[in-house]
A and B are shown apart, each in its own frame.
Chain A
Amino acid sequence: MTQSNAPLVGQSVPRREDRALVSGKGRFLDDIASPGGLHAAFLRSPYAHARIGTADLEEVRAMPGVVAVYTARDLAALLPGGQRLVTGLPSSSIAFALDRPILPEHETVYVGEALAMVVAETRAEAEDAAEMIDLDLDPLEPVADLENAARHDAPKAHAHLPHNRLARFGFSYGDIAAAFDGAPHVMSRRFRIDRGGAHSMEGRGVLAAPDAMTGRLSVWSSTQTPHALKRHICTLLARDDAEVEVTAPDLGGAFGPKLVTYPEEIAVAAAAQALGRPVRWVEDRREHFLAACQEREQLWTVEMALEADGRIRGLRGTLLHDHGAWTARGLNVPYASGMMLPLMYEVPAYDLDIIVTVTNKTPVTPVRGAGQPQATYVMERLLDAGARACGIDRAEIRRRNLVTPDRMPCERPLKLRSGEPVILDSGDYPRTQATALEGIGWHGFEDRRREARARGKRLGLGLANYVEGTGRGPYETVTIRVARDGRIKVNTGAAAMGQGVGTALAQIVAEHLGRDPSTIDLTLGDTREPYGFGGFNSRQTVVAGASADAAARVVRRKVLQVAAHLLQMPEENLDIAADLVIVAGSNSGEGLSLAEIAAASEGLPGYRLPGIDTPGLQATERVLIEGMAFANGCLAAEVEVDEATGAVHVARLFLAHDCGRMVNPQMVDGQILGGLAHGLGNALYEKMCFDDQAQPLTASLADYLLVTSAEMPVIEIAHTESPSPLNALGVKGVGESGVIPTAAAIASAVEHALEDLGIEISEAPISVQALHAAIRAARPGGPE
């Protein structure tokens, strides 16, 4: 039990998840035994674009261990509710629907797309057979490049499409022509951000088991959104809600791509139901490289108009966004980018044209950061260029433009996708920046830099401000019930994905109900509750936290009402300590147990309820959240660039950070550190490469580089807590904070290190080769 008086929310309570995980007793998808179960493997498209012909399956069906082989046509019979997954969010800007088929019948549109499924007794037999499927594929011209895709004469990513421009929309306010007309400075730049993956250490996976006795279908999936999966299974298999149960076991990380329902999940569920046996599919790393959703690829052509003193007059341009081959989530990523670009600075006029293009590449959905890192990169690069043009310090130009705390809550001339206005809820952006500058030693740096230069070393310092939109509504359900044995049962649609959300929710609930998290039993991602969403958009501590807090308050009230009745004492004199109701302030260890109170609360035949007007100690809350809680931060980075090779060494990162009230500071730091590591990858290493036929060239961890401990710089984090006024707890999300500013801050530092050479950094990741070439070009004689 924790200290009796300090609030639990705000303490680094040890994680309830850890003991099992360090003992090898975690229960990840592939750890779940399914005796007598079958294994699925998929034949995946070797071409980025091809017409699908006929398949000869006779031989494959006869292979050892093979139980069933399904092509699109075979599967159709098992999917009475339709053969397409409608997972995209609606938008009136979308020109044509591109909902994914479970298995495509006539045309395949990216390398790695599942074309046929084999179910066999063992995984090896399923994989052997899938490899042997003889499927006629007639290659079509692919669209490999985003820029090319937008052209009118480009080949079509899907043969039937009129063009590849899935959507065109934008953001616009203020008098943009006047802002640029006669502006003392105009910065015009192009930026390219590359595609990358999420690469949770555990890939996707699904296990479906039908129950012959009840006819029910139980499904386990490594998903962030068990509720969505359940809805899709019920729809496509035409099953009733009550007949399907979906559980997310322990997740070995997620980071975005496990947010949407995938064709493989539906195909496996359909096969299990048809075959009457459990069927399992576990993604391997190569499949994760090809078929798990990816993100980030964008091309920006932008201009910023400035006053002579560096104040922003306007911002305009075009964003080309790569959507991949199907609509797996919708326009949320480019929308977030466009909304984020001017958000935290005073930008009086803004005009951004967004073109979303379909390409023959893996579908795009959010990867940790979701469009926000790209926008931050672009804005911060423009400000660095602006500082140079105006001849002022890079920090000063930001300070002159940041939204100031006296404007909070500050309504922006922008709208959330719901149509609600964007309101920056709280925070002190200039002070956050000042903290970061102080932390990294911004003001004494010139001397250090000069000194290092004299020793032949090129040091650079960079910075990036950012906001993170967190706590996406509308709600998450939380039900709290004190069971007859006195245990506190918490059920919620919020889903665990390895970030410790269970620990955080237990803290929030325990705050009101005895202050001892060990009395609480949690069921996360509970699909027996019909209304729920799951984990994305750094939302769960905010949205589920708000419902947990509200439900715990109601249950506390009921506990005390029943106890007051039983003890014949006023409610105000009572308190809950661990599993006892005690006289407030007493330390005697005596009291009425929650078990007794729970039993009494059920009532007795013919008697009045004890002090309450509805039976039981239970409450369900779905607190509606409309606005988003904006966390903010400023990252300062110190780098050293090797002039001879173009190699960048990141020496230090200092993050000044504000995510409102922190529920568990140790877990907040953990989220930030993980995000920074991912951001470091985005800044320097992680790039999904394709050839001109849209064939992936980096489909193993040997080719696509994830950051290891050796690349991690010294990291310091300073927190400020500006409580969000949008929820009773004052919390904001933190899951994406680390990743958003990192590429921007490192690019800023690299540019600074090469300042005298006039090299501008306009891409992420920064490639060593390109940087080396730029250095050579800037000084043809090579380094002195």
Chain B
Amino acid sequence: MSDKTTITLTVNGVPRTIACVPRKTLADALREDCRLTGTHVGCEHGVCGACTVMVNGAPVRSCLMFAVQAEGAEVRTVEGLAPEGGLSVLQQAFIDHHALQCGFCTPGFLMLITGALQKDPDMSDEELTEVLSSNLCRCTGYRNIVRAALAAAPAIRASVRETAA
């Protein structure tokens, strides 16, 4: 169990090589080996979505994925949503709409929304709202999260399309 495997992956655009035991989850590897603690672990059984990150452009629950499965992958975490010191449109919308209280679930929601629209920029507002029900938040009652997501969606869609074009 303790033999470590070397994994090479890209996290937030930075190539990284880490060594971890095969049973380590991607969530733990990001938190411990990359010291990116913005990705949170709320349940470790794939229900809460606090650990959501983007792997190769799609939202993924990093507690359900082994780090070794991310070999060669492009991983994006909350720390990579905006350049240092800046905020993405979605992060700003979360602040403006009071879409967070304790903030523990917030990185997961930010990555879920960003990842869902990245994967399918044509997704309607209704579909996006439905996607939000895949993550849990105990503080906010969700309404403000939905509002923030819908407010930021047009800008995210536009930027995804622009990059694709």
Contact = CB atoms under 8 A, between A and B. Distances in A.
A200 interface: yes
A611 interface: no
A706 interface: yes
Interface string A489-530: 000000001111000000000000000000000000000000
Contact of B44 (A64, A252, A284): A284
Nearest to B103: A21
Interface string A691-702: 000000000111
Contacts of A252: 40, 42, 102-105
A701 B47 contact: yes
Interface string B38-63: 11111111011010000000000000
Contacts of A31: 31, 37
B110 interface: yes
A56 B107 CA distance: 44
A24 B79 contact: yes
B155 to A, nearest CB: 16
A23 interface: yes
A284 B1 CA distance: 21
A202 B142 contact: no
Given A22-B100, A24-B78, A674 B141 contact: yes
B142 to A, nearest CB: 4
Contacts of B35: 33
Interface string A123-134: 010001000000
A666 B138 CA distance: 17
Most chain A CB within 10 A, of B31, B47, B77, B135, is at B47
A21 B78 CA distance: 10
B146 interface: yes
Contacts of A667: 98
B30 to A, nearest CB: 10
A14 B81 CA distance: 21
Nearest to A702: B47
A688 to B, nearest CB: 16
A674 B138 contact: yes
Given A285-B44, A701-B47, A701-B48, A21 B138 contact: no
Interface residues of B, number: 56
Nearest to A669: B98
A12 B101 CA distance: 14
Nearest to A128: B1
Interface string B81-104: 110000100010011001011111
A619 to B, nearest CB: 30
A28 B77 contact: no
Interface string B108-139: 00100000000000000000011011111111
B102 A285 contact: no
A19 B81 CA distance: 13
Contacts, number: 173
A590 B78 CA distance: 42
A23 B1 CA distance: 34
A498 B44 contact: no
A199 B4 CA distance: 34
A709 B40 contact: no
A715 B136 contact: no
A681 to B, nearest CB: 9
Nearest to A64: B2
A28 B103 CA distance: 10
Contact of B43 (A21, A497, A701, A738): A701
A22 B141 contact: no
A678 B103 contact: no
B101 A25 contact: no
A709 B104 contact: no
A738 B134 CA distance: 23
A28 B40 CA distance: 9
Contact of A202 (B31, B102, B135, B145): B102
A685 B2 CA distance: 41
Contact of B102 (A12, A497, A701, A706): A497
Contact of B145 (A498, A709, A715): A709
A89 B39 CA distance: 38
Interface in B1-44: 1-2, 21, 23-24, 31, 35-44
A31 B35 CA distance: 9
A179 interface: no
Given A255-B138, A285-B43, A678-B138, A710 B103 contact: no
A263 interface: no
A202 B35 CA distance: 18
A574 B136 CA distance: 51
B79 to A, nearest CB: 5
A201 B133 contact: no
A25 B143 CA distance: 24
A366 to B, nearest CB: 16
Contacts of B24: 124
A412 B2 CA distance: 66
A250 B102 contact: yes
Given A22-B94, A24-B78, A201-B42, A677 B101 contact: no
Contacts of A23: 38, 78-79, 81-82, 87, 91
Given A24-B36, A24-B37, A715-B143, A202 B77 contact: no
A370 B39 CA distance: 32
B47 A251 contact: no
B46 to A, nearest CB: 8
A12 B144 CA distance: 15
A780 B30 CA distance: 58
Contact of A498 (B39, B87, B94, B104): B104
A499 B54 CA distance: 28
Contacts of B39: 24
B140 interface: yes
B2 to A, nearest CB: 6
B101 A202 contact: no
B48 A26 contact: no
Contact of A24 (B38, B42, B94, B98): B38
Contact of A670 (B38, B82, B98, B134): B98
B136 A201 contact: yes
A30 B110 CA distance: 20
A709 B133 contact: yes
A738 B95 contact: no
B103 A700 contact: no
A678 B138 CA distance: 7
Contact of B101 (A33, A124, A499, A712): A499
A396 interface: no
Interface string A32-45: 01000000000000
Contact of A15 (B41, B42, B98, B110): B98
B105 to A, nearest CB: 5
A136 interface: no
Nearest to B134: A708
Interface of A: 12, 14-15, 17-26, 28, 30-31, 33, 64, 124, 128, 198-202, 250-253, 255, 284-285, 497-500, 666-667, 669-678, 700-702, 706, 708-710, 712, 715, 738
Given A22-B106, A64-B2, 9 more contacts: A30-B31, A30-B37, A31-B37, A200-B104, A201-B50, A201-B102, A285-B45, A674-B139, A715-B143
Interface of B: 1-2, 21, 23-24, 31, 35-45, 47-48, 50, 77-79, 81-82, 87, 91, 94-95, 98, 100-107, 110, 129-130, 132-146
26 contacts: A18-B95, A18-B103, A19-B87, A22-B110, A23-B81, A24-B107, A30-B41, A200-B102, A200-B104, A201-B42, A201-B102, A285-B44, A498-B103, A669-B98, A670-B139, A672-B141, A673-B140, A677-B141, A700-B47, A701-B48, A706-B136, A708-B132, A709-B133, A709-B146, A710-B133, A715-B141
Q: Which 8 A-B pairs have the closest CB atoms?
A: A24-B38, A498-B102, A252-B104, A21-B103, A673-B141, A24-B78, A710-B133, A677-B141
